[in-house]
Amino acid sequence: MNVTLANAIVTYQKLHHFHWRVSGDRFFELHARFESLYDRFSEILDNVAERMLMIGGTPVKTLTEAVATATLVEDAEIPAAREMAARIMADLKAQREQMLAVIAAAEQAGDRGTVILLDGIADSLDKEIWLLRSYLAD
Ligand SMILES: [Fe+2]
Distance (Å) from CA 55 to ligand 1 centroid: 34
| DSSP string over 51-94 | HHHHTT-----SHHHHHHH-SS--------HHHHHHHHHHHHHH
Quick: pLDDT tens for 66-117: 999 999 999 999 999 999 999 999 999 999 999 999 999 999 999 999 999 9
CA–CA gap between residue 89 and residue 93 (Å, rounded) = 6
Quick: pLDDT tens for 8-24: 999 999 999 999 999 99
Across the chain, mean pLDDT equals 98
Distance (Å) from CA 103 to ligand 1 centroid: 33
131 has pLDDT over 90: yes
Distance (Å) from CA 95 to ligand 1 centroid: 24
CA–CA gap between residue 22 and residue 81 (Å, rounded) = 6
Asked whether the CA dihedral 104, 69, 4, 56 is positive or negative, the reply is: positive
Distance (Å) from CA 29 to ligand 1 centroid: 13
138 has pLDDT over 80: no
Residue 67: closest CA among 17, 7, 18: 7
Distance (Å) from CA 59 to ligand 1 centroid: 27
Which residue type sits at 51? Answer: R
pTM, two decimal places: 0.97
